[in-house]
Every structure is written in C-alpha cells, then in structure tokens.
Amino acid sequence: AYQTAYLKCHHTAAFMAATLTSEMDNTDKVFNFYQDTLQQGVRILPPDVNSSGYRFAPVDEKTIAYGLGAIKGTGQAANENIVAARAEGPFRDLFDFCRRVDNRVVNRRAIEALIRGGAFDALSPHRYQLLASPDAALGSAEQHARSANQNSLFGDDEDAMPLQLANVPEWGMRERLQNEKLALGFYLSGHPYHEFAEELSHFVKHRLADLSPAMVQPASGSGGGGRRNSVQLILAGMVSGVRIQQTRRGRMGVVTLDDGTAQVEMTVFNEIFEQSRPWIREDELLVVRGKASLDDYSGNMR
C-alpha cells in the first residue's frame, strides 16, 4: 500500500496510465480512473490515430496519451497494426489511413469506432463526414492495392476514384457527444449538460459537485437544536443510468444524474417514478426537486 501511494504521488502520470490501461475493457472503471487522474492535476490527451498507442502512456509528468485500446470495437491487433503503419509517417487523411493499414485487421467497424471516439479529429474535426465516408476510403484502398499488384495498360489509375469525403452536415453537440459515448463509454470532449446550462442557471443554483454534508449541518451558534437533517433542492443533470427495484409498494427507480461536475444517485419512489417515466430516459436532461440528506453510513449526501 505504501509503495502504491508513493508511485501515485511521485510518478502520477505513469501510475495513472498503468491503472487506466489495466481496466481498458471496463468503461465504468476507465471513467472513474479518468476523473481521478484529472483530480491529480494530470491532463489526458484525446485519442489520436497519429499519436496514441494501444495503451494509455505518459507523455510527460503532467500528461497522458489516451489508449486506443479503450475505444470499444477496435481491439489490440487493430491498434497495433495502426501503430506499425504510421511508423513510416503520420496519416494525412482517412483515405491515406485506409490505404496503409491492413483492412482485414482494421476493418470498417474499427474505423467507425475510432471516428466516433474522436481519434481522427486531428485529421478532420467533421466526425459525421468521416463516419459517412468509410465506403469511399476502403474502396480507394482496394483500388490502390490492385494497382500495386498488376501492370495496367493505361498506367497507374490510382487517382481514377475521386478522393472526397461525403457531403453531409456537421453534427450538433448532442449527436457528437452521444456517438463519443458509444465509443468511449463516457463523454470526453464536452458534456451535453452544457447545452442547457445557461437556461438552467436561472433556477438551478447548485451543481451536483456542490452537494456536501455542510448543507445539512447545524448553523453556527444554533446549539445543536437547529440541526437540519435534510434540505430541499432543485437539481438538474443528464440521466446516465436507471435501475429499477421492486418494493412492497411497487417499483422504485434509482436514477443517476450527471451534470459534468459529478454523478449523483437519487431515489424516486414508486408513485412519482411511474408518473415520471416518460421523462426519465438515458442521455436526456432531467430537472428534479428533492430532499438531500446525509447518509450516516457512508458520510455522503443522498
């Protein structure tokens, strides 16, 4: 325990990179360690096909490169093939990428996952355009491979196929982040709550990270008689999870709210839960009025 604490304190980036890598297949744990890393004052760079490896890796004492292996739908073989292909130079665009990697290993599914996760953002920030273009890029790669393996009467016809990305509109913030979450398991480049933050600020006065036991402690000089066991609050966040529990009085919902500053679980009892089901949907905004109290067992707010 002492050795682990020493490494985390004195070699934070290397320690957290190793910790993140050890749980790459579990996105819930990756998210928890990601938050812990940020709290340690270490920055995590977004995934990038031109700089990221399969594992999370320290860049310097305060920076970690995101591991491509933590992107769902890629796999170790595909990521190692990408690293090997870029040894001859950085990828220029999606077409250059598809020509240089082995498309039997780095298949369409892996390419789409990398795009959703933002690993191509350095080549083009227009993720929807990239996501609509793998057919053209893979077709160009096949044509290039055929041209390299045979002599054409008309010379190299490599440029016969126009190398153009699909003409589609850009995603809005919500679509971009929802696709990012599909690939990474959580929001990395932003948070959908920010879309509503300004409007909500008129009546939601507390962030989820602001919830603390101090809210229900007795006021100074109250002599203990004025202790508040709970406090009424209006809170808001995106629904990141819903669990249903069966009780003697009916179904009860345990809803996890996320506003980009923290995640908080709230209990919604059966009558209100059933009435409110149309609004309790994952990745949708939810505004709640509830009673926050101190959980004596955990010492946290509930």
- Torsion-angle region of residue 70: left (phi > 0), alpha (psi -120 to 50) or beta? alpha
Alpha carbon distance 132, 194 (integer Å): 27
Per-residue pLDDT of the chain (302 residues; tens, 9 = 90+): 999 999 999 999 999 999 999 999 898 899 999 999 999 999 999 999 999 999 999 999 999 999 999 999 999 999 999 999 999 999 999 999 999 999 999 999 999 999 999 999 999 999 999 999 999 999 988 888 887 766 554 555 545 555 788 999 999 998 999 999 999 999 999 999 999 999 999 999 999 989 888 887 665 555 444 445 788 999 999 999 999 998 888 889 999 999 988 888 999 998 999 999 999 999 899 999 999 888 888 777 88
Strands across the sheet containing 285-293: 263-268, 250-258, 230-247, 285-293
Alpha carbon distance 71, 51 (integer Å): 15
Q: Which residue in this structure is represented by tokens 């604490």?
A: 5
Indicate the average pLDDT of the chain.
Answer: 89
Q: Which residue in this structure is represented by tokens 């591991």?
A: 67
Task: Convert the pLDDT of each residue in 153-184 to its tens digit.
Answer: 455 554 555 578 899 999 999 899 999 999 99
Alpha carbon distance 251, 90 (integer Å): 54
Structure tokens at 257: 């709210």
Q: Which residue in this structure is represented by tokens 């000089």?
A: 221
Structure tokens at 187: 């929001």
pTM exceeds cut of 0.85: no
- Strand 43-45 vs strand 285-293: parallel, antiparallel, or unpaired? unpaired
Alpha carbon distance 133, 135 (integer Å): 6
> 34-61 burial string, b = 16+ CB within 10 Å, else e?
beebeeeebebebbbbebbbbbbbbeee
